[in-house]
Structure 1
Amino acid sequence: MSEKTGSSPQSSTFSIQGEENQPQRKGLGVVTASVFIVGAICGSGVLAVPQAIVNIGYIGPIVLVACGLISSYTGSILGRCWTLLRARYPEYEHERITDPYPTIAHRAGGKVAEIATRVCIDVTLFGGATVFLLLIAGNISNLIANLGDKQFSLCYLLLIVTGVLTPFTWLGTPKDFWQAGVVAACTSVIASFFVFGSLMTAIPDLPNPQHAATQWSLFFSAFGTILFSFGGASCFPTIQVDMKQPNKFPVSVVIGISTVLAVYLLVGLTGFFVLGDDMEPNVLDALPPGWMSYTVNILVTSHLLMAFLIVSNPVSQEIEGFFKIPDKFGVKRILVRTSLSGMAMFVGLTVPHFDIILSLLGGSTIALTNFIFPPLFYLLLSRQRTPSAAHGPLPSYIQSSIETTSDSTSLHPQPHVQSREEDPAQPSWMQVDLELHIKVILIEIILIGIVGGVSSTYFSFASLVNGDSGFTVPCYVNVSVGL
């Protein structure tokens, strides 16, 4: 990313190094933040990416790498957006910001952009939490069946899992349960090596893998699954807000998503070349029985338990911010977060198949929050050369200046609205000058996100309507679902 210094004395170059000399505050470090990124997005991908690569065909690994690189870039751009806002609006340094992503959207594109972003984030994270609940219940059900040769309904397990996890959702923000991020990241990485080992040891007992011709419907549905597997941008700003040095967040994004991509390639390539068309939507169902598959099950389930806490937290914070619930443990927090867990459980009981939710979310809301919104908002913020061009209230230091000017008039004070760039003694307004090739890259990413997202959503809906998705009745109609 290349930025140039503006020529106006009121402007200054946006630099990621702008906070080097400021005192360190409490919060997450660069490595811990990257661990949270791995923990938030890696678990479901380890299970679903192998099937997605099989459905896409031989170019599957290329599509996976491309999505990973773009996600890393757009995640870094999103981090730069928040760093830029903190430089332009000093009040963000001290206020409790429970919804940083919608705040970026509002400052960049106004109220419509904010509302669209809120809807996408809430649907994405809520859907992700539902997917995690379904995967946890399904994995436990499979483990019980394999170890004890007994069947236990996924529907009942979904109720039990939600009841166990709900009290842990009452914790505050990511910095209050950073251990969950560490556990989630470590278990998913270790599990990928066990998946690799389990498949490699099974090669002598497996026939030569078959690879059917790629169908467009399967291709775009799988593309949606891959998009979902990198869909962590919705909670990225929430992690960034909790960092000691939020301006370092792009570094955390690169480290985190690079780790996730390496894990996906390990399990995805192995599954593609070893099992081929015999792969299942959940890779655990395709592993040969044995201690290695049981270990993978336990590790991935542990990851999903922690990831559920991470992805459900931003939605909880936003709801609490909307209702002005204090940032402390109390009855109101318990009610909000318990209700949210209950709603996720109800959706899981209604649609007890995680792969359907993955494809639909990946092609719609995640395409927007991961691929389209970050470059779009960064372009819009870069066009705001002065405070008067920005959306939302004036920065706090300009508001104070206006109030002081109005109060100082004598006898008949007249309200004097000071120009937003009138006083050179006030803090400077950060500007970003993007070179042409950077603008072209950002626009290309937006177009890729639009075309890929629309196509994936269309084919996912089509498979659901046509009955090709394997959709079954809800749990409250037939509790034996999953048996």
Structure 2
Amino acid sequence: MIILCAISSAYTAIILGRCWIILQNRFPLYREHVPYPYPAIGYEAFGNPGKYIVSFCVLFTLFGVSTVFLLIASENIQSLFTGGISFCAWLPIIAAVLCPFTWLGTPKDFWPIAVGAMSATVLACLLMFVQILMDIKINPEPQHSNTTFKKFFVAFGTILFAFGGHAAFPTIQHDMKRPSNFKWGVIWSYAVIVLMYLPVATSGYFIYGDKLDTNPNGDSILSLMSPGGITTTVTVLITAHLTFGYIIVINPFCQQFEEALGVKPGFGIKRCIVRSFVVACNLFVAETIPHFGAILSLVGGSTVVFLTFVFPSLFYIRLMTMEDDGNKPVIIPLYERVIHYEIILIGIFGGIASTFSAIDDMASGASSFTVPCYVNASAAHL
């Protein structure tokens, strides 16, 4: 599934890049600065409905990703500091610490944070793989649970979440000196990502087996790794990545929210209030669903599926075959059409199944930490 999702996601990323090139060739206004390129592609393909649907999916994805980052960071910090502070109590502490950093401008103003986040992830994946291999001796005969319909599609949403960067791809391509070379950036980037994900995921599967299914500490494979210097270092590195990543991911969401409210660009009290409110909303969702795997599967199986599988192929077919302003439709070869239709159908069916499975997983109580933090706190107080 990891390999198939990576190949499919890389292909649709290249297709999305072609859509942006079409817009730049047809409409000179898109050669200048465009704050939201993906919704612009939706607009030129299907008008305002396409623009608004894409905008919603992008915002929902960014909000979900930032919530997941907040949850995992809290879980990691709880494991590092084994004092009396609970996982739920760490959430507001971390949110309060990160909140002032969200008041910064745009990602171009703090690009070193992205470099630091990526470096931390590469080193963490390497160390995780080493530690997992070292754990073979403590779990020589791992057991594996049977795969069910719900488990398969929850996994589908989770894995696709890992390759769901399409919301930002048109922005990256637009800022490139040579946008036509975007496909090579996609190919090399996905190759590096697979080299990081695949060893950790497969080694964890073959060595830990179904221990993760019954793990009382949630979905994180870190909680199954033997304690020691390597595990502690990995936890610190991943936590650093998550805190850096939170500042980056929440920023575009805040910018669009500010634009909708009419807040002028530039640092000011209104920006601080709006972005603090967004962080507070993040915190409320995290306290309500304090199980990052559930949110990860829900976002990955819903909006990420549409942004990754459905929209790129759908918009590409529409832009290539539409006739307006003197542009003649282009005939797409039959084999290419079949590929696009298959991707769209897989995306729609997989997205519906993954979303249903993720919601059912949360509603049935199959996930750990399903009870909201404030419910637990109220019960403890009573």
Q: 1:60 maps to which residue? A: none
* Matched residue, 1:260: 193
The residue aligned with 2:281 is 343
Q: Which residue of 1 aligns with 2:29?
A: 91
Question: In terms of mean alpha carbon deviation, does 78-87 or 371-380 score higher?
Answer: 78-87
Counterparts of 1:28-47 in structure 2, within 5 Å, are none
**What residue in structure 2 maps to residue 434 of structure 1?**
332
Query: Residue type matched to 1:449 in 2?
Result: G
User: AA paired with 2:43?
Assistant: H
**Matched pairs, number:** 374
Q: What is the CA-CA distance between 1:431 and the residue it aligns to?
A: 6.7
Q: Distance in 2 between matches of 1:175 and 1:363?
A: 30
Using the TM superposition, give the Cα deviation of residue 380 of structure 1 relative to its aligned residue in structure 2, in angstroms. 0.9
1:208 paired with 2:141, answer yes
Name the counterpart of 2:236.
Answer: 298
Which residue in 2 is equivalent to 1:311?
249
The residue identity in structure 2 corresponding to 1:381 is L
Q: 1:107: how far off?
A: 0.9
Match of 1:353 in 2: 291
1:177 is paired with a residue whose SS is helix
Q: Which blocks of at least 5 consecutive residues in structure 2 are unaligned?
A: none
Q: Which residue of 2 aligns with 1:82?
A: 20
Aligned to 1:478: 376
Separation of aligned partners in 1, 2:366 and 2:184: 42
State which drifts further: 442-451 or 332-341. Answer: 332-341
RMSD: 2.0
AA aligned opposite 1:294:
T
CA contact (8 A) 1:98 1:318 kept: no
Equivalent residue, structure 2, for 1:137: 74
- Describe the shift of the 1:222–1:251 C-alpha distance in structure 2 as closer, same or farther (beyond 3 A): same
Please tell me whether the aligned partners of residues 98 and 314 of structure 1 are also in contact (alpha carbons under 8 angstroms). Answer: no
Q: CA deviation at 1:141?
A: 0.5
Q: Is the 8 A contact 1:235 1:314 kept in 2?
A: no
Q: 1:479, CA displacement in angstroms?
A: 3.9
Paired residue type of 2:174: V
Q: CA deviation at 1:168?
A: 2.0
Larger Rg: 1
8 Å Cα contact 1:184-1:304 kept in structure 2:
yes
Match for residue 456 of structure 1? Answer: 354
**Equivalent residues of 2:322, 2:328 under 8 A apart:** no
1:238–1:303 distance in 2 versus 1, CA, 3 Å:
same
State which drifts further: 226-235 or 466-475: 466-475
Amino acid at match of 1:179: P
Q: Does 1:169 align with 2:113?
A: no
Per mean C-alpha deviation after superposition, the further-off stretch among 106-115 and 66-75 is: 106-115
Choose the corresponding residue for 2:6, options 52, 61, 68: 68
* Equivalent AA in structure 2 for residue 123 of structure 1: F
Asked if the contact 1:153–1:479 (Cα under 8 Å) also holds between the matched residues in 2, the reply is: no
More helix by share: 2
| Cα shift readout 1:77-111 (whole Å, capped 9, x = no counterpart) | 222222221222212233x4222211111111122
The Cα of 1:76 is off from its aligned counterpart by 1.7
Structure 1 alignment gaps of length 5 or more: 1-62, 388-420, 422-428
In the other structure, the counterpart of 1:289 is 227
CA contact 1:124–1:361 (8 Å) conserved in 2: yes
Give the Å deviation of 1:480. 9.5
Q: Encode CA deviations 1:424-467: one digit per residue, 9 max, x unaligned.
A: xxxxx597553222222111111111111111112222222322
Secondary structure (helix, strand or coil) at the match of 1:250 reads: helix
Provide, for residues 8-39 of structure 1, a one-character-per-residue CA deviation record: whole Å limited to 9, x for no partner: xxxxxxxxxxxxxxxxxxxxxxxxxxxxxxxx
Partner residue, 2:163: 230
CA distance in 2, matches of 1:336, 1:157: 23
Contact 1:174 1:242 in 2 (8 A): no
Give percent identity, aligned residues only.
43
Shift of 1:367: 0.8
1-side partners of 2:329 and 2:260: how far apart? 30
Letter in 2 for 1:459: S
User: What amino acid is the match of 1:259?
Assistant: V
Distance 2:18 2:246 in 1: 26
Q: Residue 106 of structure 2 contacts residue 251 of structure 2 at CA under 8 Å; is this kept in 1?
A: yes
> What one-letter code is carried by the residue in structure 2 that aligns with 1:141?
Q
The reply to whether residue 109 of structure 1 matches residue 109 of structure 2 is no
The reply to whether residue 334 of structure 1 matches residue 272 of structure 2 is yes
For the pair 1:181 / 2:79, whether they are aligned, the reply is no
Which of 78, 86, 100 aligns to 1:153? It is 86
2:172 — aligned with what? Answer: 239
Does 1:367 find its partner at 2:305?
Answer: yes
User: 1:235·1:311 contact (CA, 8 Å) conserved in 2?
Assistant: no
Asked if structure 2 preserves the Cα contact closer than 8 Å seen for 1:170 and 1:337, the reply is yes
Inter-CA distance 328–430: structure 2 relative to 1 (3 Å threshold): farther
What CA distance in whole angstroms lies between the structure 2 residues aligned with 1:266 and 1:182?
22
Whether contact under 8 Å (2:5, 2:159) holds in the other structure is yes
- 2:266 is paired with a residue whose SS is coil
Going from structure 1 to structure 2, the CA distance change for 1:250 and 1:106 (only over 3 Å counts) comes to same
